[in-house]
Every structure is written in structure tokens, then in C-alpha cells.
Amino acid sequence: MSVEAKVKEIMAEQLGINEEDISSDSSLAEDLGADSLDVVEIVMALEEEFEMEISDSDAEKLDTVKDFSNFISQRSC
């Protein structure tokens, strides 16, 4: 499974929506309706899944599925 597919799966699970409703360019807040608590939970789930740490300052810069996928891909090897 690709990083992006896993990110979509985690976001869908955390937000209680269908993966099909999430695109690469979906914005967490604007398109998916995530509030700040949802974002924190998504970041924690991604950290656990990919065994990495995403700092608060980095998390604030990430908004779309593509943003999260690129960030994770660049830092995991």
C-alpha cells in the first residue's frame, strides 16, 4: 500500500468518512471538516503507523493528503 493510500485510510477512519470521498488535494479543514482535535488525532495515528514524529510546527504546515504523504515519504526510509 502506498503512503498516500495509507494516509487516506487513516484520515477516513479518524473522521468517520469514506476513503472515496478523500482526494490527494483534499484539505483537512475545508474539504473534510476536520477540527483541531481531529487534526491532532490524525497526526498521532500517522506517527504511530509510520513510526515517526511530526512536530507541532510541521503539522501546522500540513493541510492536504498530498502534504502529509510527501512529508512522510521524505522522512521515512
- Give the whole-angstrom CA distance, residue 14 versus residue 59: 16
Phi then psi for 16, rounded to 5 degrees?
70, 40
pTM of the model: 0.91
Digit-by-digit pLDDT tens for the chain (77 residues) are 899 999 999 999 999 999 999 999 999 999 999 999 999 999 999 999 999 999 999 999 999 999 999 999 998 75
> Among the options 21, 25, 31, 35, which is catalytic?
35
| 35 tagged catalytic | yes
Domain of 53, in residue numbers: 3-75
What's the pLDDT score for residue 60? Answer: 92
Residue 68's CATH number: 1.10.1200.10
What's the pLDDT score for residue 23? Answer: 95
Our count of domains for the chain comes to 1
What's the pLDDT score for residue 77? Answer: 57
**Can you give the chain as a three-state secondary structure string?**
CCHHHHHHHHHHHHHCCCHHHCCCCCECCCCCCCCHHHHHHHHHHHHHHHCCCCCHHHHHHCCEHHHHHHHHHHHCC
- 59: number of CA atoms within 13 Å, CB side? 17
